Chain A
Amino acid sequence: MNRRLRTPALAGLAIVALCLAGDALPRMPYRITFLAEDDAPSRNAYSQFTAAVARTLPGLASEARIGYFTVGGSSTRARVRAAIDEHPDLVVVLSGYYAAAVAKQPVAVPTVFSSFEDPLRYGIVTSFGPRPEPRCGVSLADTLEGKRLEILHSAYPHVREVAVLATPSWADELGGRARLQAEADRLGLHATLLLTDDPDEVRTLMSDDRSPRFDAWYVPATHLADDAWRDVLDRLHAWHKPNIWASKVDVDHGAQMAYVQDTQFVWDEVAGLVARVRAGEAPGSIPILRPTHFTLVVRMTPGDGMPAPDISVVRRADLVVR
């Protein structure tokens, strides 16, 4: 062979051989770290997410390795740091609090999140539109306080004093207090915030002599609704007090009304976002999704002693539980 052609030919053969060898080598799995607390709801969320991946994106499920990394407790920040130090390809976190912890890490790792907290206020993202940080997800921030008070007022026009059972962070960090007071004033209601972080304290709070004197109760979407619903509903049923919640599950548990923004789409959307990031799309270029469906759920159980809501509210309800 001509000496001048020998070197380029050998180099070309070497490149081809390397490419073939690269194709022949087993591919490294796409490592996804699912950040959550080590509790039952989180485990349930993990199951929902993996089921959505398997259902909607079977290809991704086969090539990705989704690891469950527990965080929480007093060392949340350190645990998040430990999770990121393992250099995952992608972090999935279905909590605004932990998503904010990930966002505060010095190393920016691609993240798909869902958050009941406002991602802008929590510093998870800087914009719902294009942004520099490699994070995308779904904002489930609930700002329907005014609408719920309005429904409560429409269902029970005689209501004037409304107790609002919530957490301090909901009231202050998420802006619930300000929104609530403005809407209450507009409707001519008097809303009293009963704030606590401890579900056990809810019981004490409900045992207070002043509690039965409120005309109605509103329980926003905080962890109190998940952790103390039984104690609250027992008291409210005993007092025959109208109430409105933020989740259909609460109505299933016995609550009288709930105005719910749809969250069931979260699993499929988060799985879809993971697939898009895996395909190479920049997370910062994907707009933040928000719920589009709202559902009014009303419980009508004659004989339970609870006052019946106005018929107009029952007629406009999307779901009536009997």
Chain B
Amino acid sequence: MHDPDLSSPPAPAPRPLARRYAVLLCGVALALLLASGLSEMAFGYRESRAEIAALQAAQADGAARELALYLDTIVRGVRDVAKLPWGQPGYGTAQRREEFYRLMQLEPAITDLQVVDRGGRERLYVSKRENDREDAGTPFDEPALLAVDGHAPLRYGRTFYRDGLAPFMRVAVFDGAGTVVATVDLRLLDELVARLHVGRGGRAYIVDADDVLIAHPQATEALRKRDLGSFATVRQARASDLAREGTHEIVDAVDLQGRPVIATAAAVEGPRWLVIVEQPRAEALRPALATLSRTVLLVALGAALALAAGIWFARRMAAPIVALRRATGRVARGDLGSPIDATTGDDEIAALAHDFNLMTERLQASYAQLEGKVAERTAELSAARDVLQSQSIELELLNDRLRGQVDDLALRREEAERANAAKTRFLATASHDLRQPMHSIGLLVGVLRDRLGDAGQRALAEKVEASVSTMESLFESLLDISKLDAGGVRPQVEAIDAGALFARLAQTWAPLAREKGLALRVRGAPPGHAPLLRSDPILLERSLGNLLSNAIRYTREGGVLLACRPCREGPVAGATCLLQVWDTGPGIEPAYRDAVFDEFFRIDDARGGAAQGLGLGLSIVQRSAQILGHPLRLRSRVGRGSVFELAVPAMPRHDLAALPTGLGTDTAAALAGCFVVVVENDTVNRESLAELLRQCGCHVLDAVSCEEVLQRSREHLRAPDLVVTDYQLDADGDGLDVVERLRAHHEDALPALLVTANTDGALVARAAALGVRVIHKPVGAARLLRAVCEAIVGATA
């Protein structure tokens, strides 16, 4: 049976449905309980605050009334004394003193009584502590109190302190002629406020019109002269002007010790005192806190019940779904034979269980059918697998054979490559060994020709020289082929003025064309306006020279055209120039258009005609074009002519004047007076070269070794202008070592030419690193002199 656990990833552990239901139900119930409880607590707290406010307002009002009554008793006593007709018979000073003492006896808070006349002078003073005075006439020290009359018969004075500590206050009453001033000891108010009970821990105290504490249950507090103007209760009471508005607001404040209290203030008219009633906050809010505690307890109890009920309901609700989940789990594990008990209940869950049982029955049937089909398909797949296995064996055999053939081909390719390399080595060796004597012959013939006086002999010498030149050309071509095949040629790409290039080619090949009666024309490269090409100048000039040589060689009549045209087609349009060599020769048949580039292939041989070339020129052109990356194209029409085309990258022309344009025409004049050192171990070559240079007016120092040069150079007062050296010397290393030593000796960038038959690429690279130009033997006198001249002129430029 199919096991789902093997083909599907394990299902994540389900989050119990009962828990989610429980969380939902309990959350809703708790939220409702919490909202109800919070609102109940908030309203309860507000109601408690209102009750506290009402209670404290009543207490403060009561205290203020009691205080007002206390003051009123004092004032009425003073008024009773003041109303009598003092000064009249029976109302003398003695009687007045007696009356004052009686008043002080009735009102213990009055400690002194004074009579002050309208002039503000004391007429009578009676005291409990001090000695009495009569008609002292001293000015009264609180004159503001004396502004009493029939309309305003009463004034309260400001608090003052006797002995610096004890608070007192004066009350002035108009007696019809002057003022009776009673001094009240405010310390007795301490007893009054001590009798006021404000809860268990509360208290009442009094501040005067200047917000200074004047009475407190703790008598010493009133002696501290504490300014309570910054207390919140006093500030609010002063701001609301209780006396006018009659409003009371409880204030959350701190008491004198900084403990939190709830306080209410009530004003006392007359002296503008405030009675502050305060109660510790914890005590005042105890009923509210008790209500809050009960509410919290009820909410907690309700929450516990809601939690239990929620869990019970959640489990009951989730039970059928859990049973269904277990059944689907059994089905998922492949057990289709355990139906759900759908006999209980008639709700949607029971209907779902019934449908589920029906579904499992159908699944069971489908599963059996599917198993049959799977067995059938499995048998078919087994047969197909056998066929594939046999085909695989055959393919393995074929593959082995192919692998053998590939190996065989690789062996053959290696053999071919070895053969090609042997051929290249043979060509290089042969050309090198033959070029050495040919070089000597060329030099000697040149010398001989100049010394011969007879015209016939000179003509003969010139023919010999021409033959030697032909052989040099042959060896040159062979050497080029060998170098190109050996990979020893590294193109030195630089900017080339097409105009100068075409001028040199025209100068070189025009004589030959004229000899054959052909016209050699040049197009598209006017001097000063020709495009600049990016290529190796030697390889490019050699390739174009070969093409021109070929064209002149095979054209009998008509002419040869050397043209430079910008490319106007293809992706390189505008950035490439097409260098074309047109001829009016016999043309090349399509069958030979590829073969003409093979080595030693000549159409005349194929046609059975006379041979005119070596068959190497186009091979060299093709190999050079491949190395340079210049596409080579051949178009031809038999009987009409051919065109060879090289696509060479062009570059924007900027300063053509900065590019070298070549040597002067008069080589001898250019070399006259130059000091040239010749190092050559071969005596014939050394003397020939020295003689050739002397004929051009050079001072020549020829030697076989560097030591000899250094020794003999002391005879000269100047440094050499050029060193011409062979590569292979008998002593002192090779020719490049000689150049390095001479440069070190003269501390100068001495120009040098290396004349050698060695075509090794490493040698060329080493010479290039030293800035030494290499000329491969054999080389003719004219070419050698041109190279000498270029080296000297290039160094001075």
Contact = CB atoms under 8 A, between A and B. Distances in A.
Interface of A: 128-130, 136, 143-144, 146-147, 150, 183, 186-187, 269, 272-273, 276, 286-290, 292-294, 312, 315-316, 318
B417 to A, nearest CB: 75
A128 B131 contact: no
Nearest to B162: A290
B219 interface: yes
Contacts of B131: 146-147, 150, 183, 186-187
Looking at A136, A147, A273, the one whose CB has the most chain B CB atoms below 10 A away is: A147
Given A146-B131, A186-B131, 20 more contacts: A129-B164, A129-B223, A129-B224, A144-B129, A147-B128, A147-B130, A147-B131, A273-B220, A288-B165, A288-B223, A292-B166, A292-B188, A294-B129, A312-B94, A312-B98, A312-B101, A316-B98, A316-B101, A316-B102, A318-B105
A318 B164 CA distance: 28
Contacts of B94: 312
Looking at A146, A287, A315, the one whose CB has the most chain B CB atoms below 10 A away is: A287
Contacts of B97: 312
A128 B98 contact: no
25 contacts: A128-B163, A128-B165, A129-B164, A129-B224, A130-B224, A143-B129, A144-B129, A147-B128, A147-B130, A147-B131, A183-B131, A186-B131, A287-B223, A288-B165, A288-B223, A290-B163, A292-B108, A292-B187, A312-B94, A312-B97, A312-B101, A315-B98, A316-B98, A316-B101, A318-B105
B185 interface: yes
Interface in B218-267: 218-220, 223-224
A146 B165 contact: no
A150 B220 CA distance: 31
B94 to A, nearest CB: 7
A50 B126 CA distance: 39
Contacts of A289: 219-220, 223
A288 B187 CA distance: 13
Looking at B128, B164, B224, the one whose CB has the most chain A CB atoms below 10 A away is: B128
B132 interface: yes
Contact of B108 (A136, A269, A293, A312): A293
A293 B188 CA distance: 9
Contacts of B128: 147, 294
A316 B105 contact: yes
Contacts of B129: 143-144, 147, 294
A73 B252 CA distance: 57
A181 B101 CA distance: 25
A150 B131 CA distance: 7
B165 A129 contact: yes
Given A146-B131, A147-B129, A294-B128, A286 B220 contact: yes
Contact size class for B?
20 to 34
Contacts, number: 61
A269 B128 CA distance: 23
A272 B218 CA distance: 9
A1 to B, nearest CB: 29
A292 B185 CA distance: 8
Given A147-B131, A292-B187, A293-B108, A287 B102 contact: no
A289 B128 CA distance: 18
Contacts of A318: 105
A51 to B, nearest CB: 20
B224 A287 contact: yes
Nearest to B217: A272
Contact of B164 (A128, A183, A276, A312): A128
Nearest to B187: A292
Contacts of A290: 163, 165-166
A286 to B, nearest CB: 5
Nearest to A265: B219
Contacts of A288: 165, 223
A246 B223 CA distance: 26
Contacts of B188: 292
Contact of B130 (A146, A269, A293): A146
A129 B52 CA distance: 37
A286 B219 CA distance: 10
Contacts of A143: 129
Contacts of A128: 163-165, 223
A218 to B, nearest CB: 14
Contact of B102 (A136, A146, A315): A315
Contacts of B127: 147
Given A146-B130, A276-B218, A316-B98, A287 B165 contact: yes
B690 to A, nearest CB: 96
Interface string B583-627: 000000000000000000000000000000000000000000000
**10 closest residue pairs by CB, A with B:** A316-B101, A287-B223, A294-B128, A146-B131, A292-B187, A312-B98, A287-B220, A286-B220, A128-B165, A150-B131
A44 B127 CA distance: 33
Contacts of B223: 128-129, 287-289
A315 B106 CA distance: 12
A128 B102 CA distance: 32
Nearest to B102: A316
Contacts of A147: 127-131
A130 B165 CA distance: 11
B165 to A, nearest CB: 5
Nearest to B128: A294
Contacts of A293: 108
A117 to B, nearest CB: 16
B454 to A, nearest CB: 118
Looking at A144, A146, A187, A292, the one whose CB has the most chain B CB atoms below 10 A away is: A292
Nearest to A281: B257
Contacts of B165: 128-129, 287-288, 290
A273 B221 CA distance: 12
Contacts of B108: 292-293
A288 B165 CA distance: 9
A266 to B, nearest CB: 12
A35 B565 CA distance: 136
Nearest to A182: B131
Nearest to B94: A312
Nearest to A312: B98
Looking at A144, A150, A187, A316, the one whose CB has the most chain B CB atoms below 10 A away is: A316
Contacts of A187: 131
Nearest to A262: B108
Contacts of A183: 131
Contacts of A276: 218
Contacts of A292: 108, 166, 185, 187-188
A88 B514 CA distance: 146
Interface in B719-753: none
A282 B684 CA distance: 132
A115 to B, nearest CB: 15
A48 B131 CA distance: 34
Contacts of A287: 165, 220, 223-224
A316 B102 CA distance: 5
A255 B187 CA distance: 31
Contacts of B130: 146-147
A273 B219 CA distance: 10
Contacts of B132: 150
A61 to B, nearest CB: 19
B219 A269 contact: yes
A120 to B, nearest CB: 10
A289 B220 CA distance: 7
A288 B163 CA distance: 11
Contacts of B166: 290, 292
B46 to A, nearest CB: 35
Contacts of B187: 292
Contacts of A272: 218
Interface in B251-301: none
Looking at A130, A288, A290, the one whose CB has the most chain B CB atoms below 10 A away is: A290
A295 to B, nearest CB: 9
B732 to A, nearest CB: 82
